[in-house]
């Protein structure tokens, strides 16, 4: 439960439109925090400048996906009355803070950052060398967090090293220049709905490059075709065979999305997920039947989001207006922090 002085900041890179993995891992947990209330302020940043650190050669991709991600967020339930949604690159205070924080971080420390390490290893385009901008993005992320005074940062566990790095910067800044910055704390959502979803091909990660995701903007036909093609238990060949549900993406999706109402409406022979999974594990339940049910569940879950998304997409100017207002609000907070940072660093000549 949020406290009345909590400032919460979430961030997302606009490098692709969002899939059901983002929805359960980030969007829904963040919307739950938003709607529970009790905090002082909630920000949701669209991190286009960070998105450029590994897409600097493809600015169209980032530009287009700012709108796509905004549509996904608003359609899923981000409420601009409750959450200040804004565009990172429009707040130049963030780059200025980044420059000052760079003095507080060593090259060796960045090289040890596990998230940076993994990302560099995964990106073929960095084979010829890692751009300084990408290498230092943890410092810019510390600027994102501290600029708004966020003490709570909801993230996936891959982001914990970023929060550790930010906490070190805050500690070092405050000990050298005096107490100025708020110490942030990572909060990893632990609800079942925040489970990491595998791809439809069974790969542990759902991603654009693997082309194994179900997207919030997918049409009903696209969803049906994807569910039909899903990987299941490869040893479950005949209906009578006992099946595995734990490494089976069809069952993993059902465990996250299927509610008792879905069973009542589409598969009344079973009361809930546990009954269905037990039958599959025993043997005697075929994949076609389970996939038909999963399709019905996914259609029910995604239809309202897609419809809201289509409606919002008909009026992109209104979406941009939401982002513009959020950005103006966020900029004021960042300007205040930057002024305090510069004063602490004795860079306030004309005060
Ligand atoms: N690095 C985050 C991601 O890839 C996005 C992000 C940028 C972020 N700035 C942030 C997250 C500040 C939390 C706080 O998902």
Whole-angstrom distance, CA of residue 148 vs CA of residue 333: 6
Q: Return the exposure string of 61-95: e unless at least 16 CB atoms fall within 10 Å of the residue's CB, then b.
A: ebeebbbbbbbbbbbbbbebebbbbbbbbbbebbe
Do strands 84-87 and 41-46 pair parallel, antiparallel, or not at all (unpaired)?
Answer: parallel
What pLDDT does residue 2 have? 82
- The region, left, alpha or beta by phi > 0 then psi within -120 to 50, assigned to residue 211 is left
Q: Is the dihedral of CA 324, 2, 197, 256 positive or negative?
A: negative
CA distances from 254 to 10, 208, 251, 273, 347 (A): 27, 22, 5, 7, 56
Model pTM?
A: 0.96
Q: Residue 258 C-alpha to ligand 1 middle, in angstroms? A: 30
> 144 CB less than 6 Å from ligand 1?
yes
Q: Residue 316 C-alpha to ligand 1 middle, in angstroms? A: 24
> 27 CB less than 6 Å from ligand 1?
no
Which of 45, 94, 146 has most ligand 1 atoms within 8 Å of its beta carbon, as the pocket-test mutant?
45
> 116 CB less than 6 Å from ligand 1?
no
Which of 53, 155, 157 has most ligand 1 atoms within 8 Å of its beta carbon, as the pocket-test mutant?
155
Residue 7, class by beta-carbon neighbours within 10 Å (0-12 exposed, 13-18 middle, 19+ buried)?
buried
Helices first, then strands: H and E counts in the chain: 16, 5
What pLDDT does residue 208 have? 85
| Contact (Cβ atoms closer than 8 angstroms) between residue 272 and residue 260 | yes
Here the tokens at position 15 are 């490098």
What pLDDT does residue 157 have? 87
Which residues sit opposite 186 in a β-bridge? 153
Q: In the chain, which stretches have pLDDT less than 50? A: none
Whole-angstrom distance, CA of residue 148 vs CA of residue 138: 16
* 3-state SS, residue 203: coil
Alpha helix (H) ranges present in 136-248? Answer: 137-147, 160-177, 220-228
CA dihedral 146, 148, 150, 154 (to 10 degrees): -100
CA dihedral 206, 208, 212, 213 (to 10 degrees): 70
């Amino acid at each position: 439960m949020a406290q009345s002085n909590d400032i919460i900041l979430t961030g997302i890179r606009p490098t692709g439109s969002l899939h059901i993995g983002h929805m359960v891992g980030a969007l829904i947990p963040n919307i739950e925090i938003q709607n529970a209330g009790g905090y002082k302020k909630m920000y949701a940043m669209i991190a286009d400048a960070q998105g450029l650190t590994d897409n600097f050669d493809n600015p169209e991709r980032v530009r287009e996906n700012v709108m796509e991600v905004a549509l996904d967020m608003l359609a899923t339930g981000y409420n601009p009355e409750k959450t200040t949604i804004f565009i990172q690159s429009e707040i130049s205070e963030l780059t200025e803070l980044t420059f000052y924080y760079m003095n507080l971080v060593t090259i060796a420390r960045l090289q040890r950052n596990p998230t940076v390490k993994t990302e560099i290893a995964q990106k073929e385009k960095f084979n010829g060398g890692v751009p300084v901008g990408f290498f230092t993005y943890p410092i810019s992320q510390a600027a994102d967090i501290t600029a708004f005074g966020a003490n709570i940062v909801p993230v996936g566990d891959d982001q914990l090293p970023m929060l550790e790095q930010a906490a070190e910067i805050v500690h070092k800044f405050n000990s050298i220049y005096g107490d100025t910055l708020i110490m942030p704390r990572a909060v990893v959502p632990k609800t079942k709905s925040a489970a990491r979803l595998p791809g439809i091909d069974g790969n542990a990660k759902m991603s654009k490059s693997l082309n194994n995701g179900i997207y919030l903007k997918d049409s009903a036909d696209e969803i049906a075709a994807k569910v039909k093609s899903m990987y299941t238990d490869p040893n479950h060949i005949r209906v009578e065979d006992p099946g595995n549900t734990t490494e089976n993406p069809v069952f993993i999706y059902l465990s996250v999305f299927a509610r008792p109402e879905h069973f009542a409406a589409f598969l009344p022979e079973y009361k809930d997920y546990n009954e269905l999974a037990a039958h599959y594990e025993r043997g005697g339940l075929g994949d076609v039947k389970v996939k038909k049910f999963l399709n019905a569940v996914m259609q029910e879950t995604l239809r309202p989001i897609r419809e809201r998304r289509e409606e919002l997409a008909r009026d992109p100017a209104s979406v941009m207006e939401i982002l513009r207002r959020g950005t103006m609000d966020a900029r004021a907070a960042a300007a205040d922090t930057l002024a305090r940072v510069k004063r602490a660093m004795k860079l306030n000549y004309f005060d």
